[in-house]
Structure 1
Amino acid sequence: MATTSISGLSSGLDTASIIDQLMQLEAIPQSRLKTRVATEQSLVTTLQTLNTKVAVLSSRAEALAKPAAWAPLVSSSSDSDVKVTTGSNLAPTNLTVTVTAVAKTHQLGFATSAALTDQVTGASNIVRLDRFDGSPVDIDSGDGTLAGLVAAINDPDNATGLRAAAVRVSDGQYRLLVESSATGAAQDFTLTAQDLSPLLGGATVRSGTDAAIDIGAGISVGSTTNTFTDVVPGLTLTVAPDTTIGTVSTISVTRDAAGVSNSVKALVDAVNALLTDIDTQSASGSATKAKGPLMGDANVRSLRSTVLDSVFPTDGSSMADLGIEVDRFGKLTFDSATFAGAYAADPAGVAEQFTTAGGGFAERVATVTKGASDPIDGTLTAAITGRNSGITRMKDSIEDWDQRLELRRISLTRQFTALETALNQMSSQSSWLAGQLSSLPTNSSG
């Protein structure tokens, strides 16, 4: 709604400026609301950042609280041709492995060379694949040429389980090489014409073989491939196809004590980083220290206390014998040497003091931090949600003030316009009256 203003027409006053100044006074409550909104938004950002750090700590603690985190192993092989893979259920072990055989494919190399376009399948374009299982397979080579035969053997639709290649031996001349796709002694086969006559002068055979290793004490392990799965539960060995027969490799699987120690140190460091951040954000301020934006926040103070208290077992004992203590500054310290000694003496006992099963340190930290950062009912999450709701209400109030102030400006503008109009009318009447008075006759005395 627009209102016409006659600024100072009769009064000589800058009524537009006066209205602006009055509106600034009227807008003071709204300005305070805007300042509060900015302050609350800054606090929400600070809480969200803190909540993210708490959630990260919760994830780290939850991972270390799982028993699997306390069964890491380091494996090694003294020979690069023998690879080691470990599973979660493997216990520390040592083996001496001797490679006695490697797995090979069954291979046929045909004697007679031919051009790619030569007919090579005999009286019929069909060749016979026999795996000695009582169910030979006929393969249609198409045109009966060497190229057609190679293509038919390699065609996935024929599911031959073979690989074929035409090997160039001289200009325009090729010899047929066919081998099984898989390794092992059971992969033997023959390839003949449909009438069982030899193809291309017959074939030289390299029989497929199984792989074998000797682990001592008269124990030999065989495999149709070069991978030996679960040689002992959780331990898999893979032998390179070109490994020299007689190769001896020492396999060692030990506990990763250094890795466990590093994980515990990382958790302690993460706890200290969170405590430091809380101290900074909730600082009361002094001559040398700035006041934190979360000063006086009860949720934050409570979180610091519960996180620090989680270092102490519920039975009132101490973690000092595992190298974890609280210093005079309210932070955690970690002595890796003390931890290493305790872990070497009793790995299972130390693990229990950290894991879920024993209600351990990592589990306690995970519980406390999850209670604060849970996206549904975490205390920090609730605080953020509450402040965001308050911000929404204040923004609604600011919008209401916009309408209220607009109506107030219209009202003031109308009042000053009415004043100027009245003054103008009075001025006109005054001028008329003065004119009337000046036109009256003047009496003269003689």
Structure 2
Amino acid sequence: MANITFGGLVTGIDTTSIVTQLMNLERAPERLLQAQQKKNTDKISAYQKIEDALTSLQSLAKGFKTAETFSSLKTTVANSSVLTATADSGAMPGSHSVQVVSLAKSQRQVTAGVASATDLLFGAGTFTIDGGAPITIAAGQNSLRGIADAINASGAKVSASIINDGTNYRMVINGTDTVNHNFDFTGLGAGPVLLGVGDPTYQDAAQAQLVVDGVNITKPTNTVTDAIQGVTLNLMTEGASTTISVAIDTDAVTKRINDFVAAYNNVNTLISAQLKYDPATKSAGTLSGDSALRTIQSQLKSLLTTSVSGATGSYNTLAQIGIKSDSKTGALSVESAKLSKVLSEDYDNVVDYFTHNGSSLNTTLPRNQYGIAQQFSLVIDTMVKPYVAGATSGLLESRKNWLSTANSRIDDQIEAMELRFEKMQTNLLNQYNRMETTVSRLQTQGNMLLNSLGLMTTSSTSSSK
């Protein structure tokens, strides 16, 4: 429990105020440490914002460091009621003719109608699907619904459901593939009656038949993924033909490049704001003069004019494909007409400039032998690579770790100071308390002395009378 003091009761001196002021003076070094700690924390926050922006830029660069991820393809179907088509990165530009001769169909069989779906109208026993293991129908399960449930639980590539035709209940069995399945209900004695070929409800299973560029193709499903390289077809109408065109989607590539430029500019803006100094207001960014930021700024700027060793074509800078840099602000901008022209007329060389050796598993290649996208990724990695003690870490991560460590040391210093301040304050209060006690005792002794002198004077006066 803290000591309770009442300063100045005897002397009239405000000892509490004096002690508070003395301790405030003693805490001056602590306040300096706290101010430094806040500066460190602000720097960590500023570094983190820039690191987040760099990570976003790196993510975009990684997203188109290979020819497969850089390129985007689009498909155009002349008659979209016949089929739809989508292309992935493995597709090749070109045109294809497709005739859908017949669609893939699953088998469908329907039973004769019965008065109830739940009444026990059939025999108990077993039945088989495609001659497989017997499926047991126990007493109490031998209704139309019970048999449908048993089919669904069998694991066979069929599904059963119950419908009502307005008068009776029927079981509809649909295959989940393009194979005709056989059902043997004789083991039930009196089993459901399946309506077979010739009945309008019956549908035979069939595979899809199509002709692609004059080649007859048979597939087990209406979703065809391997008839045309990199193109997925979804067949919709049989007995119809159409054409499919696969082309480079320059709009998607342009958007990807514009997103990259925007991410670069975000990094550039954040760094510039931190390095800026306003002589009029004498204000500066949290990281003003920071050498790490100047290094990052310089490295990113140098990439704008970095060549790609071994790349085809004549592109050595981003400006040559329509991405120019402002000489004052360092911000990038896209010359849309120029970019559109090179993408239309020299697409393959643009791709190689961005993606050269991007798919290579040899990570020991010199940096300039990679496409510009991978070069950006590698350089940014030297800035944001997570900190690991004793290992090569990113520049910003190392700075953040150093500042965090400095703040931890300051915490230790402040903790030690607080212990010393607590003792000092206790000692000062004790000293003033002892002073008050001493003054009080002296006042008491003085009063006693005065009283004694007063008595002596009175006694002498009486004796003289």
Question: What TM-score, normalized to structure 1?
Answer: 0.83
Worse overlay, 61-70 or 385-394: 61-70
Match for residue 210 of structure 1 among 207, 210, 214 = 207
How does 1:204-283 map onto structure 2 within 5 Å? Answer: 204-205=197-198, 206-216=203-213, 218-240=214-236, 243=237, 245-283=238-276
- Give a deviation string over 1:195-252, Cα, whole Å, max 9, x none: 9999749633443222111234x32211122222211222221213xx2x32222212
| Post-superposition offset of 1:88 | 2.6
How does 1:47-446 map onto structure 2 within 5 Å? Answer: 47-77=47-77, 78-109=79-110, 113-116=113-116, 117=119, 140-142=136-138, 147=144, 150-151=147-148, 154-157=151-154, 159-165=155-161, 167-169=163-165, 171=167, 173-174=168-169, 177-183=172-178, 186-187=179-180, 189=182, 191=184, 193=186, 200=193, 203-205=196-198, 206-216=203-213, 218-240=214-236, 243=237, 245-287=238-280, 290-314=283-307, 317-329=316-328, 330-355=330-355, 357=357, 358-376=369-387, 377-431=393-447, 439=456
CA–CA distance in structure 1, aligned partners of residues 339 and 115 of structure 2: 73
| Post-superposition offset of 1:155 | 3.7
Q: SS of 2:247's equivalent?
A: strand
AA at the equivalent of 1:63: G
Contact 1:373 1:379 (8 Å CA) reproduced: yes
CA–CA distance in structure 1, aligned partners of residues 194 and 324 of structure 2: 82
| Post-superposition offset of 1:295 | 0.7
AA at the equivalent of 2:270: D
CA–CA distance in structure 2, aligned partners of residues 153 and 407 of structure 1: 83
CA–CA distance in structure 2, aligned partners of residues 387 and 279 of structure 1: 21
Contact 1:51 1:380 (8 Å CA) reproduced: yes
User: Quick one: structure 1 residues 163 and 44, their matched pair in 2 at CA, closer, same or farther if it must change by over 3 Å?
Assistant: closer
CA–CA distance in structure 1, aligned partners of residues 149 and 35 of structure 2: 80
Contact 2:144 2:171 (8 Å CA) reproduced: no
Q: SS of 1:105's equivalent?
A: coil
AA at the equivalent of 1:237: L
Contact 1:96 1:250 (8 Å CA) reproduced: yes
CA–CA distance in structure 1, aligned partners of residues 381 and 173 of structure 2: 61
| Post-superposition offset of 1:165 | 4.9
- Give a deviation string over 1:105-134, Cα, whole Å, max 9, x none: 234455x5443458567xx955565x5xxx
CA–CA distance in structure 2, aligned partners of residues 419 and 199 of structure 1: 111
- Give a deviation string over 1:153-207, Cα, whole Å, max 9, x none: 62422x4433445554453x34555443322xx5264657469999749633443
User: Which residue is 2:361 aligned to?
Assistant: none
CA–CA distance in structure 2, aligned partners of residues 162 and 11 of structure 1: 102
Q: SS of 1:24's equivalent?
A: helix
CA–CA distance in structure 1, aligned partners of residues 134 and 399 of structure 2: 75
CA–CA distance in structure 2, aligned partners of residues 145 and 436 of structure 1: 124
CA–CA distance in structure 2, aligned partners of residues 202 and 423 of structure 1: 119
| Post-superposition offset of 1:415 | 2.7
- Give a deviation string over 1:238-297, Cα, whole Å, max 9, x none: 213xx2x32222212111111111111111111111111111122122226841111121
CA–CA distance in structure 2, aligned partners of residues 282 and 231 of structure 1: 57
User: Quick one: structure 1 residues 285 and 126, their matched pair in 2 at CA, closer, same or farther if it must change by over 3 Å?
Assistant: same
CA–CA distance in structure 2, aligned partners of residues 293 and 256 of structure 1: 44
Contact 2:325 2:333 (8 Å CA) reproduced: yes
User: Quick one: structure 1 residues 146 and 393, their matched pair in 2 at CA, closer, same or farther if it must change by over 3 Å?
Assistant: closer
User: Quick one: structure 1 residues 225 and 2, their matched pair in 2 at CA, closer, same or farther if it must change by over 3 Å?
Assistant: closer
Gaps of 5+ in 2: 310-315, 358-368, 388-392
Q: SS of 1:187's equivalent?
A: coil
Contact 1:322 1:338 (8 Å CA) reproduced: yes
Percent identical among aligned pairs is 24
CA–CA distance in structure 2, aligned partners of residues 430 and 277 of structure 1: 76
| Post-superposition offset of 1:303 | 1.0
| Post-superposition offset of 1:45 | 1.7
User: Quick one: structure 1 residues 5 and 160, their matched pair in 2 at CA, closer, same or farther if it must change by over 3 Å?
Assistant: closer
Q: SS of 2:355's equivalent?
A: coil
AA at the equivalent of 1:97: V
TM-align CA RMSD: 3.4
Contact 2:70 2:351 (8 Å CA) reproduced: yes
CA–CA distance in structure 2, aligned partners of residues 370 and 236 of structure 1: 37
Q: SS of 1:248's equivalent?
A: strand
CA–CA distance in structure 2, aligned partners of residues 371 and 265 of structure 1: 24
CA–CA distance in structure 1, aligned partners of residues 21 and 217 of structure 2: 96
CA–CA distance in structure 2, aligned partners of residues 268 and 223 of structure 1: 45
Q: SS of 1:76's equivalent?
A: strand
Contact 1:107 1:178 (8 Å CA) reproduced: yes
| Post-superposition offset of 1:384 | 0.9
User: Quick one: structure 1 residues 33 and 168, their matched pair in 2 at CA, closer, same or farther if it must change by over 3 Å?
Assistant: closer
AA at the equivalent of 2:377: A
Worse overlay, 51-60 or 202-211: 202-211
Contact 2:125 2:188 (8 Å CA) reproduced: no
CA–CA distance in structure 2, aligned partners of residues 35 and 221 of structure 1: 76
Higher relative contact order (CA 8 A, sep 6+): 1
